[in-house]
Amino acid sequence: MNEEKKCIVCQSTSQQMPILEFAFKGQKLHVCSQHIPIIIHQPDKLQHLLPDLPNRPGEHDD
């Protein structure tokens, strides 16, 4: 299997870090254990990594 699983944030491979797979819009993406909190807590930081990611619903600017 030649497909290299790389963290979308830091490009670490599963040789370097534990890598988890997740899905977004039918794409399989990968993130290392170090960057899981970004997905959970800081989805806005993913927007430049995942251009299709919509703005968070329910977000209000005052």
* Between 11 and 61, CB nearer to Zn ion: 11
- Residue 30 CB, nearest approach to Zn ion (Å): 9
- Residue 50 CB, nearest approach to Zn ion (Å): 14
Helix, strand, or coil (residue 43):
helix
- Structure-token pair, residue 17: 């870090």
24 within 8 A of 50, measured Cβ to Cβ: yes
- CA dist., res. 16 & res. 7, Å (int): 10
- Does 7 bind Zn ion (CB under 5 A)? Our answer is yes
Residues near Zn ion, by CB under 5 A: 7, 9-10, 12, 32, 34-35
